[in-house]
Amino acid sequence: MARIPSIYPHVWRVPLLIWQGLFFVGPLILMVAMSFWLVRNYRMEPDFVLANWERMLTRDYFWSAYQVTFLRASLAAALASLFAFPASYALAFKVSATARRWAIFFLIVPFFTSYLVRVYAWQVLLAESGPVNAVIGFAGMGPFTMLNSGFGAMVGYLTLVMPLVVILQTFSLAAIDRNLIEAAWNLGASPRRTLVRVIVPAARVGLILGAVFAFILSFGDFVSPFYLGGSKPPTLSILIIDTTKSGQQWPRAAVVAVMMILTLFTVAFAAVGAAYRRKA
């Protein structure tokens, strides 16, 4: 007699599927559909035209904003990964498990406060008459203009992503089998060679996922480029705001948003593929 498959294991997936359908798939479908609508007399009317896509994808300002957003997000991911690695390495190999747990806790604490509040704090710190320029002034330099610039925006990006990148890298490094490291030492590998040939490849998944999360968060961020970067040059998130303010052009803004989502999906799938790809 054939055994009837049990549906019990699939029941637990239903809440997740409902949640994803209501709050991700549904809005995404609506946004894609909206990108084909028209605005007449400041009112959106359902339609199926390519005018919005043609207008946005043939404009230099869109591709300029796309390039700025992509390059800044890539730079933020690279800098966050590089700056976080020494701290993650120390937490994984140089401190006790108790100290590591407390460090992870304090890395989570910044998420208890609003990201906007932290960005406002940076506005005070980076102002021309702020504490940072005051310290630089003691060395006979400055004051430097750090707000309303790419530097200010990058500071905001790193404020957003650094704690998360450190946490992901720490978990990945702490999970490495110590026997692999000891074997490398017994075979005469130097500390630098052990780091490059053993530790980094073994922690590849966490390192790549940390970088891709940093890219995703920076790519879609609006707060830092607006309040610390001065909106010039505009990023895609700022372009969405400007587009909606221009004649209530929500369909054109939807085109920008869809392009952002397609980019993030492409980067995320490529990164996950690289993280879990097996060596030949």
* DSSP reduced 3-state for 42: coil
Q: Is 20 a member of any domain?
A: no
CATH number, residue 144: 1.10.3720.10
How many secondary structure helices (H) and strands (E) does the chain include? 16, 2
Does the structure show a pLDDT above 90 at 105? yes
Give the Cα separation of 273 and 19 in Å (integer): 26
Residues 6+ apart with CB under 8 A from 175: 203, 206
Q: Is 29 a member of any domain?
A: no
Cβ 154 vs Cβ 79: under 8 Å: yes
Look up the domain containing 165 and give its range. 52-276
Tens digit of each residue's pLDDT (9 = 90 or more) over 172-225: 999 998 898 989 888 888 989 999 999 999 999 999 999 999 999 999 999 999
What does each C-alpha distance from 146 to 141, 168, 170 come to in angstroms? Answer: 14, 29, 31
Residue 275: what pLDDT? 86
The count of structural domains within the chain is 1
Give the Cα separation of 236 and 58 in Å (integer): 15
Give the Cα separation of 141 and 84 in Å (integer): 29
Query: Please, which pLDDT band fits residue 3 given cuts at 50, 70 and 90?
Result: low
Q: Is 162 a member of any domain?
A: yes
Q: Exposed e or buried b for every residue in 232-270, given b needs 16+ CB within 10 A?
A: ebbbbbbbbeebbeeeebbbbbbbbbbbbeebbeebeee
Tens digit of each residue's pLDDT (9 = 90 or more) over 237-264: 999 999 988 777 899 999 999 999 999 9
Identity of residue 38: L
